[in-house]
A and B are shown apart, each in its own frame.
Chain A
Amino acid sequence: MPDLLLELFCEEIPARMQAGAADSLRKLVTEALVERGLLYEGAKAFVTPRRLALAVHGLPASQPDTHEERKGPRVGAPQAAIDGFLKASGLASIDQAKIESDPKKGEFYVAHLHRHGRPTPEVIAEIVPAIIRAFPWPKSMRWGSGSLRWVRPLQSIVCTFGPETEEPEVVPFEIDGIASGDVTRGHRFLSSGAIRVRRLDDWMTKLEAAFVVVDRERRKDIILADARDLALAHGLELVEDAGLLDEIAGLVEWPVVLIGSFDESFLDVPDEVIRATIRANQKCFVLKDPRTGRLANRFILVSNLAATDGGDAIVAGNGRVIRARLSDAKFFWDTDRRTNATVPLADRLAKFQNVTFHEKLGSQYERIQRIAALAETLAPRVGADPKLAREAALYAKSDLRTEVVGEFPEVQGLMGRYYAELEGLDPQIALAAEEHYKPQGPTDRVPTAPVSIAVALADKLDTLTGFWAIDEKPTGSKDPFALRRAALGVVRIVLDNGLTLKLSEFVEPDLLAFFADRLKVHLREQGARHDLVDAVFALGQDAGSAEGATGTQKTLQDDLLLVVKRVEALGRFLRTEDGKNLLAGTKRAANILRIEEKKDGVSYGGGVDITLLHEPEERALADAIAKAGPLIATALGAEDFEGAMGVMASLRAPVDAFFEKVTVNAEDKALRANRLALLADIRAITRQVADFERIEG
């Protein structure tokens, strides 16, 4: 079976686009082949800074032949109908059609159309130019006098097709003046001249000899292994960085890993800042000294060149740039320390008056004041000292005005902590400066220190209430102010720290619903049954018939911790025999009620007449419900969900007995209504805990 090799050779493709482009090329070409009846055995895409390539293995030499029978008009139909048929089926004359007959229609014409499949190269020559012209680059451009768009100027195309044992043929096509061929080029500096290639293995071998590793994953492996070895040889550890590795693999065709050093005096600068500088600006790795746990004064760079001097000039050049960058970083760090030591916090805060947080939400200064007030209010609820929480909140954003954070925004918070420590502030303030941004996502660490919690909650709640107030809520995939992340942060802080906090005191109902959504998502991701979550959340949503039983349901959802505890207790209860049976009984009661209420057009509930309770089982059930009601309410009032579930369990036997012995739809109308009212009581009493109808099983 023949193979296809396609290589699109161009000027340097941005590193961040390479992996996606390789995927797209594979998908687009193979899908187009399959659509045209060309099934294949395997396909693999390759990408380097200068080439995007695809090998499709095991293609047929041509499309399969097809046979189609097309029914025509009956024999003797008007000439116009016959002509139309000839035109549509491509027959030259009606003699070429067969005559078939059918008991209903009689005799009619049928065209038997045999189509030979087209040779695969012809199909490829049609597919590839169309894919190139419409390739989904995130950003593309024109060049020279042409009109073709590509990520950067496209220079040449290799497109060959043929079986393994024979010389493959060039699939001929032309696009914007570039003719396909079988000639490529090697490494920009380490190889020269044109290279003729036949098929995948040949292409890979020749390019490897021309200093090009075409497989991106292999380049990554080489870089990582060599970097680790080189670090080890110097008694150091590589600080691994998957994002950086990905990027670097997209900047080189022939990775050569080298090590350089910088002056030890730069190690005064915090590790995170050194790493940020070297990573962002120079795309180099940093190294750790295992003896101290701190960074070493070394860096690892990945060059694209096996230089004639062994890389000395490259290391020296990179070292000079890193030195200049670290000088800047050190200058920023020193300046900040000087400023912080001489300018009082109040004066630094005043500068935030000139910084707009959001056009409609005022200055950063106003925001900080709001957060400080809120942190002070929240403090007693989270076990923090209010005065300290206020001070911490006033301090927390101050690093945004520093030189270091201005240059490296990714170290915000952390710098706040460092500077606070240097200023000799209370350690809790220093910690809050770093931690109040946390958690940044579903896996980030949640702060646990009370002052950090107070400031983190205040920061997030202020953001949420602010953007809610100006109606900048997230919609669909759009969440420019990361409000979902902020709400999830609040949820996680509350739950992980076991905080009892009535959110309705701080946010409006619409925003509360947003928290409920985040909590649902969070609980589901934690593996909680979504039906139980829904069953508990349903309580506050409809003014359920349990109203009056405890009076707490309406506000239930604003205490995230209670919701979670209730879901957990409910889950445990439903795993017991009593729980399962009570759930079945309650659902049965609810079903009967739904049907009868619909039939009668009334809603049952609101009181059972004890004088109409004839059967011992119905009396027992009424007694049990009357007894259980206040007990459940008391337990719930004390947030004792286990206790409430225990009382619920006592209902199981009377409910089961009732359904076994008592006929609900009695002849006597009064009796029937009374029994339906009793069912309504079952529904109501279980709704004190959760909406059982929403529970599966």
Chain B
Amino acid sequence: MIDPALPPHMRPDRSFQGLILALHAFWADKGCVVLQPYDMEVGAGTFHPATTLRAIGPKPWKAAYVQPSRRPKDGRYGENPNRLQHYYQYQVILKPSPADLQDLYLASLDAIGIDLKLHDVRFVEDDWESPTLGAWGLGWECWCDGMEVSQFTYFQQVAGIECAPVSGELTYGLERLAMYVQGVENVYDLNFNGREGAEKVTYGDVFLQAEKEYSRHNFEHADTAMLLEQFRMAESAAAHYLEAGWSDDRTRHLMAQPAYDQCIKASHVFNLLDARGVISVTERQSYILRVRELAKACGAAWLATEAGGTPAA
């Protein structure tokens, strides 16, 4: 149930930001650290080091955050009511996954105004895999009245490393969820700030121009020569930081996160190159493999850090 004390413009079913705030309040109350988005371009909330790296190693971890996600190929010049090259994911990671994770998730839906006696919520098989991150897990797509509103995954492996304990990951597609609770059919019609009349700001007011500009950029103008070079640079920088980060006896790593940043960079550059159509089918596989190798090396390095479970010397 939505907090009855909320003024109308703060309600999760009236404003996009109200939805985010309600989820923050819910998960903060469950003991999560509420983080801010990672300050790099990523394809999904999973890439945030608070998920990828923290999912590896023995230490417990609970976090929630919004992550802008960039999918260059999904740009539609602002013409498709459902598809965006930049959108928001709300990401929750709980390690180890608690026994009542499904109930927690359902309670969070209730908190944003989805009445579970009125709406048909279903857990439909969906195995998750990220070839670039060397990660996979089992779980579901969560359906609300036939619409996929979240991904629910129990991580089994990340960066090629077996997860023990296992993390539970929840990813809410914020725009879809907001469209659902606000009852609008076009993402650009979403009420962003919850105000009406002259004070109302829509999702379109904030992002429509950006969608058009980035679609042009992603499909037509992104400088491929530069991107190819950036990929190589990120790859070699990652290798360099990884090597330089090992302690002399190679038992501890002191620079896993900067190395991982370069892995993220390489992944996004690859996505842009892919959207520009300059990567052939056979090359595609080899690019994915190269990013995965970086991710695996970063995962191994992370295990040798304090947060990864190796005590400081």
Residues of A within 8 A of B (CB): 11-12, 14-16, 49, 139, 141-145, 151-153, 155, 189, 251, 282-284, 301, 303-305, 307-309, 313-314, 316-318, 320-324, 327-328, 356, 359
Which A residues touch B168, using CB under 8 A?
Answer: 143
Would B122 and A313 count as touching, CB distance under 8 A? no
For window 184-218 of B, CB contacts with A under 8 Å fall at 185
Which one of A142, A152, A283 contacts B164 once the chains associate, using CB atoms below 8 Å? A142
Which A residues touch B137, using CB under 8 A?
Answer: 141
Would A303 and B166 count as touching, CB distance under 8 A? no
Would A314 and B119 count as touching, CB distance under 8 A? yes
Per the bound structure, the CA–CA distance linking A251 and B146 in Å amounts to 12
Which B residues touch A303, using CB under 8 A?
Answer: 120
Per the bound structure, the CA–CA distance linking A150 and B99 in Å amounts to 14
Which B residues touch A282, using CB under 8 A?
Answer: 146
Which one of A11, A142, A323 contacts B102 once the chains associate, using CB atoms below 8 Å? A11
Least distance between B128 CB and chain A CB atoms (Å): 11
B contact residues, range: 35 or more
Given contacts A144-B98, A317-B180, contact A324 B81 (CB under 8 A): yes
Would B145 and A251 count as touching, CB distance under 8 A? no
Minimal Cβ-Cβ distance residue in B for A144: B96
The answer, yes or no, to whether B244 is at the interface (CB within 8 Å) is: no
Per the bound structure, the CA–CA distance linking A502 and B146 in Å amounts to 55
Which B residues touch A144, using CB under 8 A?
Answer: 96-99, 165-166
Would B121 and A189 count as touching, CB distance under 8 A? yes
Which B residues touch A328, using CB under 8 A?
Answer: 82
Would A307 and B117 count as touching, CB distance under 8 A? yes
Which A residues touch B185, using CB under 8 A?
Answer: 320, 323-324
Would A251 and B82 count as touching, CB distance under 8 A? no
The answer, yes or no, to whether B127 is at the interface (CB within 8 Å) is: yes
Would A324 and B82 count as touching, CB distance under 8 A? yes
Would B118 and A143 count as touching, CB distance under 8 A? no
User: 10 tightest CB-CB pairs across the interface, nearest first?
Assistant: A317-B145, A14-B125, A12-B123, A318-B146, A303-B120, A145-B165, A141-B138, A144-B96, A145-B96, A321-B146
Which one of A139, A141, A313, A356 contacts B145 once the chains associate, using CB atoms below 8 Å? A313
For window 139-188 of B, CB contacts with A under 8 Å fall at 139-140, 144-147, 154, 156, 163-166, 168, 180, 185
Per the bound structure, the CA–CA distance linking A217 and B174 in Å amounts to 38
Which A residues touch B282, using CB under 8 A?
Answer: 356, 359
The answer, yes or no, to whether B281 is at the interface (CB within 8 Å) is: yes
Per the bound structure, the CA–CA distance linking A674 and B99 in Å amounts to 92
Per the bound structure, the CA–CA distance linking A303 and B145 in Å amounts to 8
Which A residues touch B180, using CB under 8 A?
Answer: 317
Would B166 and A143 count as touching, CB distance under 8 A? yes
Which B residues touch A314, using CB under 8 A?
Answer: 118-120, 145
Would B165 and A322 count as touching, CB distance under 8 A? no
Which one of A16, A284, A307, A316 contacts B125 once the chains associate, using CB atoms below 8 Å? A16
Per the bound structure, the CA–CA distance linking A282 and B148 in Å amounts to 10
Minimal Cβ-Cβ distance residue in A for B117: A308
Least distance between A569 CB and chain B CB atoms (Å): 52
Which one of B97, B123, B140 contacts A143 once the chains associate, using CB atoms below 8 Å? B97
Per the bound structure, the CA–CA distance linking A155 and B163 in Å amounts to 20
Query: C-beta contact mask, B75-103 vs A, less than 8 Å → 1, else 0?
Result: 00000011000000000000011110010
Least distance between B95 CB and chain A CB atoms (Å): 9
Minimal Cβ-Cβ distance residue in A for B99: A144
24 A/B residue pairs, CB under 8 Å, sorted by A: A11-B123, A14-B125, A15-B125, A139-B138, A141-B156, A142-B156, A142-B163, A143-B168, A144-B99, A144-B165, A145-B164, A151-B138, A155-B99, A189-B117, A284-B146, A313-B145, A316-B145, A317-B146, A320-B147, A321-B145, A321-B146, A323-B185, A324-B185, A356-B282
Least distance between A36 CB and chain B CB atoms (Å): 33
Which A residues touch B117, using CB under 8 A?
Answer: 189, 305, 307-308
Given contacts A141-B137, A143-B97, A324-B81, contact A189 B116 (CB under 8 A): yes
Would B120 and A305 count as touching, CB distance under 8 A? yes
Chain A CB count within 10 A is highest, among B81, B121, B145, for: B145
Per the bound structure, the CA–CA distance linking A478 and B81 in Å amounts to 44
The answer, yes or no, to whether B25 is at the interface (CB within 8 Å) is: no
Given contacts A143-B154, A153-B154, A307-B118, contact A318 B145 (CB under 8 A): yes
Per the bound structure, the CA–CA distance linking A314 and B117 in Å amounts to 10
Which B residues touch A322, using CB under 8 A?
Answer: 146
Q: A307-B117, A317-B145 are in contact. List 17 more A-B contacts (CB 8 A).
A: A11-B102, A12-B123, A12-B140, A141-B154, A141-B156, A143-B97, A145-B164, A145-B165, A155-B99, A304-B120, A304-B122, A305-B120, A308-B118, A318-B145, A322-B146, A324-B185, A356-B281
Per the bound structure, the CA–CA distance linking A283 and B139 in Å amounts to 19
Least distance between A494 CB and chain B CB atoms (Å): 35
The answer, yes or no, to whether B124 is at the interface (CB within 8 Å) is: yes
Least distance between B251 CB and chain A CB atoms (Å): 25
Minimal Cβ-Cβ distance residue in A for B123: A12
Per the bound structure, the CA–CA distance linking A478 and B142 in Å amounts to 35
Would A317 and B147 count as touching, CB distance under 8 A? yes
Would A313 and B166 count as touching, CB distance under 8 A? no
Per the bound structure, the CA–CA distance linking A356 and B156 in Å amounts to 34
Minimal Cβ-Cβ distance residue in B for A17: B125
Per the bound structure, the CA–CA distance linking A307 and B122 in Å amounts to 14
Minimal Cβ-Cβ distance residue in B for A299: B146
Which A residues touch B98, using CB under 8 A?
Answer: 144
Which B residues touch A320, using CB under 8 A?
Answer: 147, 185
Which B residues touch A327, using CB under 8 A?
Answer: 81
Which B residues touch A251, using CB under 8 A?
Answer: 122, 124
Would A152 and B138 count as touching, CB distance under 8 A? yes
Least distance between A316 CB and chain B CB atoms (Å): 8
Per the bound structure, the CA–CA distance linking A322 and B164 in Å amounts to 40
Which A residues touch B125, using CB under 8 A?
Answer: 12, 14-16
Chain B CB count within 10 A is highest, among A16, A142, A143, A145, for: A143
Minimal Cβ-Cβ distance residue in A for B127: A139
Minimal Cβ-Cβ distance residue in B for A13: B125
Per the bound structure, the CA–CA distance linking A143 and B99 in Å amounts to 9
Per the bound structure, the CA–CA distance linking A317 and B117 in Å amounts to 14
